[in-house]
Amino acid sequence: NTTGSSKRTAEEDQGKIHQRGFKKIVTNRTPQDFFFIKVLGEGSFSTVYFAKEVDTGDEYAIKVLQKSQIRREKKVEYVLREKDVMAALTYAYGGHPFIVKLYCTFQDNDRLYFVLTYAKHGEMLNLLRRLGSFDENVTLFYASEIVYALEFLHKCGIIHRDLKPENILLSDNWHVLITDFGTAKILGSDKDVPDMQRVKKLIEENEQDDRSSGPRNSFVGTAQYISPEVLKGTSVGPECDFWALGAIIFQMISGLPPFRAVNEYQILKKIGQLDYDFPNGFPELPRDLVCKLLVVNPENRLGHAQTGGIEALKKQPYFKNIEWELLPNRPPPPIK
Binding residues for ATP: 63
For 190, residues 6+ apart whose C-beta sits below 8 A from its C-beta are none
Instruction: Tell which one of 117, 206, 266, 316 touches ligand ADE (CB under 6 A).
Output: 117
CA 75 to chain centre: 18
Check binding of 122 to ligand ADE (CB under 6 A).
yes
The residue annotated as part of the active site, out of 13, 84, 108, 162, is 162
Residue 40 or 290 with smaller CB distance to ligand ADE: 40
Amino acid in the structure at residue 303: G
Of the listed pieces 9-17, 27-35, 114-122, 124-132, which binds ligand ADE according to CB under 6 A?
Answer: 114-122
Of the listed pieces 24-32, 112-120, 135-143, 306-314, which binds ligand ADE according to CB under 6 A?
Answer: 112-120
Question: What does the chain come to in residues?
Answer: 336
Binding residue numbers: 63
The residue among 290, 281, 288 whose CA lies nearest residue 135 is 281
Least distance to ligand ADE, CB of residue 190, Å? 29
Query: CB neighbours (10 Å) of residue 13?
Result: 13
Burial of 72 (0-12, 13-18, 19+ CB in 10 A): exposed
Residue 106 or 118 with smaller CB distance to ligand ADE: 118
Does the active-site annotation cover 110? no
Residue 61 or 293 with smaller CB distance to ligand ADE: 61
E strand or H helix that includes residue 112: strand 111-117
Are 114 and 63 within 8 A, CB to CB? yes
Check binding of 316 to ligand ADE (CB under 6 A).
no
Interactions with ligand ADE, residue window 149-178 (CB under 6 A): 169
# chain residues binding ligand ADE, by CB under 6 A: 12
Task: Compute and round to an integer the Cα radius of gyration of the chain.
Answer: 21
Question: What does the alpha-carbon distance between residue 286 and residue 306 come to, in Å, rounded to a whole number?
Answer: 22
Interactions with ligand ADE, residue window 26-65 (CB under 6 A): 40-41, 48, 61
Check binding of 104 to ligand ADE (CB under 6 A).
no
Give SS3 for 302: coil
Residue 40 or 138 with smaller CB distance to ligand ADE: 40
Residue with the CB atom nearest ligand ADE in the bound state: 61
Residue 82 or 239 with smaller CB distance to ligand ADE: 82
Give CA separation, 172 vs 123, 149, 223, 331, in Å.
12, 17, 29, 11
Give SS3 for 191: coil
Active site residues: 162
Report the interface residues with ligand ADE, using CB under 6 A.
40-41, 48, 61, 100, 116-119, 122, 169, 179
